[in-house]
Structure 1
Amino acid sequence: MTSTTDKHPLDRPATITDVAENAGVSMKTVSRVLNRAPNVKPATRARVEAAMQTLGYRPNSPARMLASNQTYLIGLIYNASSSYITSIQNGVLSACRPEHYDLLIHPCSYDSPSLLDNIGDFIASKRVDGLVLVPPVSDVAGIRELLIEHGVVNVAISHEPEDETDWAVCTNDREICKNMVRHLSRLGHQRIAFVRSHPDHKAMADRYLGYLDGMAEVKLKVNDALVVQGENTFESGIDCGVQLLRQRPRPTAIFCANDHMATGVMKVAHERRLQIPGDVSIAGFDDIPVAKQVWPQLTTVRQPLEAMAKLAAEELIRLVRNEKPQELRVVVDAELIIRQSTGPALVDPD
């Protein structure tokens, strides 16, 4: 028979007793390690974690819940039509697994009249320890009050904190959009258009501010006719592309607040037999998979969504454990991705 002292996996599910014997500690110490209690020496913690890995130990969730009055469940609430949710899920999971938390995903419709009731029912029925919120859900009026009422800690992605109880992980949207305008200006573009995001998506408002900052920095006047309102969809990108490309003189570059709208603008340019980037340069934001699938490949901004989601979940777990994070707003730098859809400005666009 295999003994736990042999330091090898068992032929049955390992128990907390097995872990304690393998690590040479008490069961209480193993429990403190599982619950991330601060009063455990690093060397002891490492020995217990090594024993759990060796034995293939999996925590008993009901027992942990009874002992700690926690469910060890993290909820992820997002808009059902979000195209980037896989990256978010992967990031949250990568933070939850080492800490022995499980993830419950909850897609919903951010514009539904029953959204707040829906989220309230989810919190009450699942008894999650905390929530990670993804825009535009995090921007919905009343969401903050609802979470405070339920006493649920939360961290939002791409959200501006409103007070000392509001936690968020963001990118430097405003700065990176200024950099995109600077890039287009260096290519000789002066008539630079901008397609704005849906007004409900407050987290994306900084992208327009970054466009304005960039235009001011390169000393280009903002032409109101070259700023159009989109809705973050491919279809709205088509509508905005028609508005912009029928103008005389037309813009030599079009910067869109997301990639979906940028690909819509590209479709209009192709239909009008315009060369990209020879006749018009087009840039987006997000670096979703389609950015590399269209032709020419799309110049864009890459958000490190998976890294942001991992940080958000790590911050949330600290809050669940009453460990206050150091900052209300953690900023992760985005990156300009220069591809073939942007190039030197056409001297005479018409």
Structure 2
Amino acid sequence: MTGRQRRPRGVTIIDVAKQAGVSPMTVSRVINGDAGVRDEVRAHVREVIATLNYTPNMMARSLVTSREIRIGVIYSNPSAAFMSELLVGVFEEASTRAAQLFLLKGEQGRPPTRDAIEGLIAQRIAGVLLAPPLGEAKAVRAILQEAGLPVAVIGGVVPDAVCVGIDNERAAFDMTRHLIALGHRRLGFVLGNPDQSASIARLAGFRAAVDAAGGGIETQVVHGDYSYASGLIAGEELLGSAHPPTAIFASNDDMAAAIVSVAHRRHLDVPADLTVAGFDDSTAATTLWPPLTTIHQPVRALATEALQRLIQDIRGGTAGDGQPRITILDHQLIERDSTAPPR
């Protein structure tokens, strides 16, 4: 035998939901006798449960009504500064909510394996918080759906989940407009991981601001992955071009910090010779010299809000209808010393 043999999988809540044409959360509410489900839907779900001979996990159900709630937190983010801020917010909120946290990290920016996620589920967790970029990892969410677990996603928009974030497109628009207002006409943009909706939204905001300027703006877009290393490569590509930009806007502070490093290595003064702007307002933005002009994303508040809403979902406070339940928090443009008009 060359591979690990899996034990046969029994009927899960996701199977019932698919057969009944409703969300797993609706099935859960029918099982628990919660309000908010129409009588005809409740009767149909019960019929499907009987037909499939589905037996709910009574241990998991008891966790929902116990005083302490067990929450899984799954993360795999290349930015240590971002994750540090996010985890602080999660831990602070958990301490006030009688929530016990179980952390699972994917290695080298990749999602955890199925075995690792199933091991987390075996800890009798009642719900899962997915830190970016894992909220948009379909394989991870599929495993959690199979287990019938409520999910909260930070920084992404996915079906049948609590989703908390900022308006990334508007934030990038605001920063790009600020750079243009300073007088810059040659702009570089460093895209984050293109598999993430936040990356695409930030690029859309950058392009929308350039279009709104009415012409005369040269742009160069290069790819990164939100890591410092990818920022170094992006910085070399932009600053080594025939007509390098006078201002570079990176999709996060780690990549922006790398670009500042490349500029210094090329004996360019920031901001006199090159303006650099970032995104997140992480610790990297203020420990760098010069400190970065950046978009303040309230990472700690996003984590707090996501955990609050996840616990409400677990306790049956939100109807699950297969649609994302989105909360948008405000962003802010923070102007520091890394930006100035061009020479």
- TM-score higher than 0.5 here? yes
Which of 335, 338, 348 aligns to 2:335? It is 338
- 1:206 matched to 2:201? The reply is yes
Instruction: Please name the residue that 1:89 is paired with.
Output: 87
Tell me if structure 2 keeps the 8 A contact 1:215–1:221: no
- 1:316 matched to 2:322? The reply is no
- Whole-Å separation in 2 of the counterparts to 1:67 and 1:129: 6
CA drift of 1:202 comes to: 3.4
Question: Which letter does structure 1 place at the counterpart of 2:176?
Answer: V
Distance 1:272 1:112, change over 3 A: closer
Question: Which letter does structure 1 place at the counterpart of 2:214?
Answer: K
Question: Which letter does structure 1 place at the counterpart of 2:230?
Answer: S
- Whole-Å separation in 1 of the counterparts to 2:208 and 2:292: 23
Tell me if structure 2 keeps the 8 A contact 1:109–1:115: no
Determine helix, strand or coil for the equivalent of 2:279: coil
Question: Which letter does structure 2 place at the counterpart of 1:248?
Answer: A
Instruction: Please name the residue that 2:256 is paired with.
Output: 262
Which of 80, 92, 97 aligns to 1:99? It is 97
Question: Which letter does structure 1 place at the counterpart of 2:279?
Answer: F
* Within-5 A mapping of 1:22-171: 68=65, 72-79=69-76, 81-83=78-80, 84-109=82-107, 112=110, 115-123=113-121, 125-161=122-158, 163=159, 165-171=160-166
Determine helix, strand or coil for the equivalent of 1:262: helix
How big is each residue's C-alpha offset from its partner over 1:120-148, in whole Å with a ceiling of 9 and x where there is no partner?
2211x211011110012222232222211
Which of 231, 239, 250 aligns to 1:245? It is 239
Instruction: Please name the residue that 1:28 is paired with.
Output: none
CA drift of 1:307 comes to: 0.6
Distance 1:115 1:273, change over 3 A: same
Gapped runs of 5+ residues in structure 2? 1-33, 36-58
How big is each residue's C-alpha offset from its partner over 1:23-80, in whole Å with a ceiling of 9 and x where there is no partner?
xxxxxxxxxxxxxx99xxxxxxxxxxxxxxxxxxxxxxx9x95893686111111116
Determine helix, strand or coil for the equivalent of 1:323: coil
Distance 1:66 1:208, change over 3 A: closer
- Whole-Å separation in 2 of the counterparts to 1:201 and 1:307: 21
CA drift of 1:268 comes to: 1.4
CA drift of 1:222 comes to: 6.5
Instruction: Please name the residue that 1:228 is paired with.
Output: 222
Gapped runs of 5+ residues in structure 1? 1-36, 39-61
Tell me if structure 2 keeps the 8 A contact 1:191–1:252: yes
Indicate the percent of aligned positions where both proteins have the same amino acid.
32
- Whole-Å separation in 1 of the counterparts to 2:143 and 2:331: 31
Which of 298, 301, 304 aligns to 2:298? It is 304
* Within-5 A mapping of 1:277-292: 277-292=271-286
- Whole-Å separation in 1 of the counterparts to 2:275 and 2:63: 60
Distance 1:267 1:337, change over 3 A: same
Question: Which letter does structure 2 place at the counterpart of 1:285?
Answer: F
Tell me if structure 2 keeps the 8 A contact 1:80–1:109: no
- Whole-Å separation in 2 of the counterparts to 1:114 and 1:182: 39
- Whole-Å separation in 2 of the counterparts to 1:277 and 1:174: 25
- Whole-Å separation in 2 of the counterparts to 1:176 and 1:206: 9
- Whole-Å separation in 1 of the counterparts to 2:98 and 2:104: 20
Question: Which letter does structure 1 place at the counterpart of 2:162?
Answer: W
- Whole-Å separation in 1 of the counterparts to 2:141 and 2:115: 13
Question: Which letter does structure 2 place at the counterpart of 1:115?
Answer: T
Question: Which letter does structure 1 place at the counterpart of 2:180?
Answer: S
> What's the C-alpha RMSD, in Å, of the aligned pairs?
2.6
- Whole-Å separation in 2 of the counterparts to 1:249 and 1:186: 20
Could you tell me the TM-score, scaled by structure 2's length?
0.75
Tell me if structure 2 keeps the 8 A contact 1:130–1:320: yes
- 1:172 matched to 2:167? The reply is yes
How big is each residue's C-alpha offset from its partner over 1:176-232, in whole Å with a ceiling of 9 and x where there is no partner?
1100011111100111110111223333321111111111122246656x1111121
- Whole-Å separation in 1 of the counterparts to 2:151 and 2:329: 18
- Whole-Å separation in 2 of the counterparts to 1:201 and 1:324: 26
- Whole-Å separation in 2 of the counterparts to 1:209 and 1:294: 27
- Whole-Å separation in 1 of the counterparts to 2:89 and 2:297: 13
Count of residues in correspondence between the two structures: 282
Instruction: Please name the residue that 1:295 is paired with.
Output: 289
Larger Rg: 1
Segment of structure 1 superposing worse, 276-285 or 76-85: 76-85
